[in-house]
Homo-oligomer: A and B are copies of this chain.
Amino acid sequence: MKKTTIEYRVPYADTDQMGVVYYGNYLTFFERARNELMRACGYTYRECEADGVMLPVVHAEVDYKRPAKYDDLLEITAWAEPPKGVRLEIACEVRRKGDPEILVKGFTRHCFVSTETFRPVPPPERFLSVFG
């Protein structure tokens, strides 16, 4: 099971007046890591869409343990379980670079759907050969 870690520097834009990263922005962090996970596996999400299949999120959960702050250099790690039918789960963890403590973790559940009909479809062959 492939794991990918990206680095991400927190801009002011991501913070709120509590002086920490706004809770909703971690879902974008998760997306950034998912994108690079797929690229690292040799099948980008852009290619997946070009093959007629999208992966909208149907469920998300996030645990906020410690806050990330402005200018932190974060490491965001993502990995996928093999898809079950038309469903796929991708887990994510956020840390400060060089610090093993998990700040935030969570996962997203996705459904393979056709870009034309928006209806569930099996994963593309190429996806299975990479993630299956």
Binding site for B on A (CB under 8 A): 9, 11-13, 15-20, 22-25, 27-28, 31-32, 35-36, 44-46, 54, 56-65, 67, 69-71, 108
Contact = CB atoms under 8 A, between A and B. Distances in A.
A27 B27 contact: yes
Given A35-B71, A59-B62, A60-B61, A24 B16 contact: no
How many identical chains are in the complex?
4
A28 B13 CA distance: 6
Nearest to A13: B28
A78 to B, nearest CB: 13
A19 to B, nearest CB: 5
12 contacts: A11-B35, A12-B16, A12-B18, A12-B31, A12-B35, A13-B16, A13-B27, A17-B19, A18-B56, A20-B56, A23-B27, A23-B108
